[in-house]
Structure 1
Amino acid sequence: MSVIKSTVDPNSVEHKENREALLDKLAGLDAEHAKALAGGGPKYVERHRKRGKLLARERIELVVDQDAPFLEFSALAAWGSDYQVGASVVTGIGVVEGVECLITANDPTVRGGASNPWTLRKTLRANDIALANRLPVISLVESGGADLPSQAEIFIPGGQMFRDLTRLSAAGIPTVTAVFGNATAGGAYVPGMSDYVIMVKERSKVFLGGPPLVKMATGEEAEDEALGGADMHGRVSGLADYVAADEVDAIRNIRRVVARLNWRKRGPEPRATVLEPRYDAEELLGLVPTDLRIPFDPREVIARIIDDSDFDEFKPRYGDSLVTGWATLHGYPIGILANARGVLFSEEAQKATQFIQLANRADTPLLFLQNTTGYMVGASYEQAGIIKHGSMMINAVSNSKVPHLTVVMGASYGAGNYGMCGRAYAPRFLFTWPNAKSAVMGPAQLAGVLSIVARQAAAAKGQPYNDEHDAAMRQMVEGQIESQSLAAFLSGRLYDDGVIDPRDTRTVLGLCLSAVHSNDVKGAEGFGVFRM
């Protein structure tokens, strides 16, 4: 066995300071998450309850199996924008009748569940997850359609939501929709393009045009029920496959539909016996320095998330700024790439390229643990071929076919974000720790580059350079880049699938690995041309 030997001292001053700093960040994120949980606020929540309706997360809780986990995605969507944190929709993976399903639920307490630009992005991301991992989709619908003031950003790209539903169905991935209230205008196509449709008696209203629009367009006067009530769709139009007596009955119908899918996973099953890590996950809070410029040993993180802390390191003496090796996590085999000292040199890039190829040959999913400042620059490194070698690594990541999971533990700067499978490289799942930061480069470096360029431009024109103006510019740029590098900002724009407590990393990754094994797990048979 190759059990990692930890040298962490949880009683050291440094460890305690790191822990307290991370706990402060977690407390701040909890306050932001609370905004999403609050929905539209007490007034609209109470109004919703007085109508005898369940809240979005209450519906989800009843849909998933008792005591089963629900892995929520993008809880901070729309953070820092003019829209409600959470983007008026809840998405995530939950187990229903023993089947892992992708679940979406409109939050009708937020502007009637209307979709804004962030709602659209969040929903499309959920559809991507379902398609890539072959997860049945359950949509819990109650929405007034598009948020009209922002229709210019929603209408044209919003058609992809409906295209996605048809593509899921064509791929043999079941789609189940339950309508708890309004599903009007374009929203009517969600049940219209789903495999199974459940409506609630005297509650569901599904029509392309409501009574006012019909009156204006055709002169016809019609009531809600005749236009799009559950009873009409169950008896006349045939759009409703099941008409439920109430919300709880609708949820019962959802569960029965899933139970009858005869759904089976395609990927290999995990090991029957799973041993927990030998070290306490609580210690993860003290591992990351408050200053991300200070490196830390990622083996200490690996030791607290993998089974039995058993890690077979690959090429341990070569390219030691990148740790690579094999392990299992919740019984699933994985290959791990983790930044050790931030900077990636030619040796690390070549090592990573070989390791990714081996993982594909062995049909083994890859876990990227990011803490990188990017690829090394400088004359000697350029002459040694850092561009070629970095490109090899990015080529390998781009064309790898095994599932990728990414966790940003600290810094994620420059092309290091690409080589370590950032969002643009389509990892199946990407999560961020609260202390993480991501940008083209660090704030001070970026401001310094702009300063140098400005000085050179002034010199080329024979003009004097204003140092006072330069200092103000640098301060402004540093502040801007710092704020736009933060985890909440990036998560709000859906550049990850959520900001997680480091202590939950093993559980979150275990749920993700289980989900990816719903689909085939098979490596690439070829890669692009590697420049040597």
Structure 2
Amino acid sequence: MPAIESTLQPSSQAFHSNREAMESHVTAFRALEALPNQKALEKKEKYSQRGQLLPRERLNLLLDPESPFLELSTLAGYKMYGDRDGSSAGGGCIAGIGYVSGTRCMVVVDNFAVKGGTITPIGLEKRLRLQQIALQQKLPTVTLAQSGGADLNHATKTFAPGGRGFYNQARMSAAGIPQVTVVHGSATAGGAYQPALSDYVVMIRKQATMYLAGPPLLKAATGEIATDEELGGAEMHTQSAGTGEYLAENDQDAIRIAREIMALLPWSPPAQPETRHPIRKPKYPIEELMGIIPADPKTPYDVAEVIARISDDSEFLAFKSEYDQQTVCGHLTIEGHTCGLIGNNGPITPAGATKAAQFIQLCDQANIPILFLHNTTGFMVGTEVEHNGIIKHGAKMIQAVANAQVPKISLVIGGSYGAGNYAMCGRGFEPDFIFAWPNSATAVMGAQQAGKVLRIVMEAKMARSGQPADPAMLDMMESKTAEQLAQGSTALSCTARLWDDGLIDPRDTRKVLAYVLDICRESRQRTLNSNSFGISRF
């Protein structure tokens, strides 16, 4: 394949300005990611006296040393649902894809050290997304459970959709995807079903409890008096009720057992011929991705400069490069994984939409994953493009994206606006994975345009009613609308609402893409031993 010849000037003032802006974004979101852990560390002594490890200590003990771990949705719920200072970000759990005893797994650790690990609506949404990934990518799941359950302040928003989590667990078991849960603390009411629906349950003596109604509720409802241990202790569940399979002595012992369970499962990579190409580094430093995206989002840039720094040997075989320059399509390899790529150098035109739709169908035919690099204001507007059928051609592209059966991975590196977000496989189109750079923005339209649109609509409405326009009122409405949309479209605001699976440092882009491409490749090759109803305890 031909190699991209970069014209980037790393010594230029523009590059330095862009890099400083991006470094500022990265530093800011990394600092926010650290807040929940700092909050948990404040309680380390308290839990140490109880003989318990903190959530991240448990995570580190579970994962294979020095193995890759892709943490997901680290800032879910940031400053939402009572999170005043950002320390509750993460949705009540630490989660990601990593290796346990050599097996790549979905790992979920309840962050009980921050607000008891209680689950808000966004925390529930995160857990459902994790289950969706595990089911789609055929990943065994290991859960280290210790949570206060649903946040009762928001129970009306979590109760009905919360049943989906149990449904997903039952479907995963029936599909043949193993689930291992270590119960580190209390699992009450609905929370007791999460371990019960797992295939393997480890409980800790004198520490873990499971019951549908705790001692206070039991006394209030029936008058019966029982201690935690009598009602739902680990010894009772492993010796009498049979809800737990393994009895551990402490956190460390329980995690050891979970690792041994995973080691015994025959979950090695599928025995199929390796289809990867030799891995070659890009010709240009990955560090230079920090200075490519202009600090001013209105300044254009060439997406080829990004491709040159993530593609093996900076090679890229462009598809219909002379037909439309604003929608870029072509083939490349990333750490040996062949994939198609669709990127933006501007709005999506009728020609760009038909070109992309054809390219998507070709990738689907050849079973080649597709990578989407978002940076578009959306579909082109105007009389000329309407006459050229922008709506019908845009619909073709959207249909192709929605119906392609190959893995689809999205990365928002700039703006992702309007229906362009849909056409580029935004969250609503169920990409296998979607990540964002911390400078990115996602919204129905640009903030300034939104303000102007509402102003024009209001002016027209007032004119029809014969009322005189108040310039001061219109100015205030326009600026307020623009400000609200701008605040709601930032990368931080979007990732808090789970519009992506997490923010990533641009310098980690190639590594993250290679990791998820390998996950997708392996999942498509794996054959599961499914059954009708999942594993039941009798």
- Given candidates 311, 314, 327, the residue that maps to 2:332 is 327
Alignment of 1:133-282 (within 5 A): 133-265=137-269, 269=274, 271=276, 273-282=278-287
Match of 1:401, SS state, is coil
Find the counterpart in structure 2 of residue 344 from structure 1.
348
C-alpha separation in 2, matches of 1:411 and 1:254: 43
Find the counterpart in structure 2 of residue 530 from structure 1.
none
Name stretches of at least 5 consecutive residues in structure 1 with no aligned partner: 523-532
C-alpha separation in 2, matches of 1:442 and 1:250: 51
C-alpha separation in 1, matches of 2:460 and 2:354: 36
Match of 1:57, SS state, is helix
Match of 2:474, SS state, is helix
Aligned residues: 520
1:171 Cα offset (Å) = 0.9
Does 2:82 align with 1:77?
Answer: no
C-alpha separation in 1, matches of 2:465 and 2:325: 46
Match of 1:274, SS state, is coil
Q: Supply the RMSD in Å over aligned alpha carbons.
A: 1.5
Match of 2:280, SS state, is coil
CA contact (8 A) 2:52 2:250 kept: no
Find the counterpart in structure 2 of residue 11 from structure 1.
11
CA contact (8 A) 1:116 1:147 kept: yes
Does 2:318 align with 1:299?
Answer: no
C-alpha separation in 2, matches of 1:50 and 1:22: 43
Find the counterpart in structure 1 of residue 316 from structure 2.
311
CA contact (8 A) 1:364 1:521 kept: no
1:264 Cα offset (Å) = 4.1
Tell me the TM-score normalized by structure 2. 0.94
C-alpha separation in 1, matches of 2:135 and 2:517: 15
Find the counterpart in structure 2 of residue 53 from structure 1.
52
Deviation by residue 1:409-429 (Cα, 9 ceiling, x = unmatched) = 001011100000000000011
Match of 2:201, SS state, is strand
Does 2:468 align with 1:464?
Answer: yes
C-alpha separation in 1, matches of 2:102 and 2:273: 17
C-alpha separation in 1, matches of 2:299 and 2:348: 15
Does 2:392 align with 1:388?
Answer: yes
Does 2:295 align with 1:290?
Answer: yes
CA contact (8 A) 1:335 1:359 kept: yes
Find the counterpart in structure 1 of residue 27 from structure 2.
27
C-alpha separation in 1, matches of 2:363 and 2:119: 40
Match of 1:519, SS state, is helix
Deviation by residue 1:297-345 (Cα, 9 ceiling, x = unmatched) = 11111111122212111111111101111111122111000102x2110
1:268 Cα offset (Å) = 6.3
CA contact (8 A) 1:80 1:489 kept: no
Match of 1:326, SS state, is strand
C-alpha separation in 2, matches of 1:196 and 1:232: 16
Letter of the aligned partner of 1:167 in structure 2?
R
1:269 Cα offset (Å) = 3.8
CA contact (8 A) 2:331 2:341 kept: yes
Bigger mean CA offset, 31-40 vs 156-165: 31-40
Shift of the 132–214 alpha-carbon distance from structure 1 to 2, 3 Å rule, reads same
1:484 Cα offset (Å) = 0.5
Does 2:490 align with 1:491?
Answer: no
Match of 2:94, SS state, is strand
Shift of the 293–268 alpha-carbon distance from structure 1 to 2, 3 Å rule, reads farther
Letter of the aligned partner of 1:470 in structure 2?
L
C-alpha separation in 1, matches of 2:146 and 2:102: 26
Deviation by residue 1:27-83 (Cα, 9 ceiling, x = unmatched) = 2112211213224561x3432232221111221111111100111111111112123
Deviation by residue 1:379-415 (Cα, 9 ceiling, x = unmatched) = 1110110001000000000001101000000010111
CA contact (8 A) 2:40 2:54 kept: no
Find the counterpart in structure 2 of residue 525 from structure 1.
none
C-alpha separation in 2, matches of 1:521 and 1:442: 41
C-alpha separation in 2, matches of 1:290 and 1:113: 37
- Given candidates 121, 127, 130, the residue that maps to 2:125 is 121
Alignment of 1:326-475 (within 5 A): 326-340=331-345, 342-475=346-479
CA contact (8 A) 1:36 1:76 kept: no
Letter of the aligned partner of 2:321 in structure 1?
P
Deviation by residue 1:226-246 (Cα, 9 ceiling, x = unmatched) = 211111111111111111121
C-alpha separation in 2, matches of 1:438 and 1:207: 43
Name stretches of at least 5 consecutive residues in structure 2 with no aligned partner: 527-538
Match of 1:407, SS state, is strand
C-alpha separation in 1, matches of 2:433 and 2:489: 20
Match of 2:524, SS state, is coil
C-alpha separation in 1, matches of 2:40 and 2:260: 31
Letter of the aligned partner of 2:323 in structure 1?
Y
Bigger mean CA offset, 476-485 vs 26-35: 26-35
Match of 1:375, SS state, is coil
CA contact (8 A) 1:138 1:177 kept: yes
Match of 2:184, SS state, is strand
C-alpha separation in 2, matches of 1:419 and 1:370: 10
Tell me the TM-score normalized by structure 1. 0.95
CA contact (8 A) 2:36 2:114 kept: no
Match of 2:502, SS state, is coil
Letter of the aligned partner of 1:129 in structure 2?
I
Deviation by residue 1:322-374 (Cα, 9 ceiling, x = unmatched) = 1111111122111000102x211011000000100000011011000000000
Find the counterpart in structure 1 of residue 37 from structure 2.
37
Letter of the aligned partner of 1:197 in structure 2?
V
Match of 1:415, SS state, is helix
CA contact (8 A) 1:40 1:111 kept: no
Alignment of 1:85-104 (within 5 A): 85-104=89-108
Deviation by residue 1:149-197 (Cα, 9 ceiling, x = unmatched) = 2211122211111111111111111111111111111110011101111
Find the counterpart in structure 2 of residue 526 from structure 1.
none
1:89 Cα offset (Å) = 0.7
Find the counterpart in structure 2 of residue 529 from structure 1.
none
Match of 1:510, SS state, is helix
Deviation by residue 1:454-504 (Cα, 9 ceiling, x = unmatched) = 111111112211111111111111111110110000000111001111001
CA contact (8 A) 1:135 1:518 kept: no
Shift of the 126–119 alpha-carbon distance from structure 1 to 2, 3 Å rule, reads same
Match of 2:206, SS state, is coil
1:10 Cα offset (Å) = 0.7
C-alpha separation in 2, matches of 1:398 and 1:125: 18
C-alpha separation in 2, matches of 1:420 and 1:368: 6
C-alpha separation in 1, matches of 2:358 and 2:255: 49
Match of 1:343, SS state, is coil
C-alpha separation in 1, matches of 2:465 and 2:152: 50
C-alpha separation in 2, matches of 1:14 and 1:30: 24
1:111 Cα offset (Å) = 2.0
Match of 1:323, SS state, is strand
C-alpha separation in 1, matches of 2:198 and 2:111: 20
1:521 Cα offset (Å) = 6.4
C-alpha separation in 1, matches of 2:91 and 2:105: 21
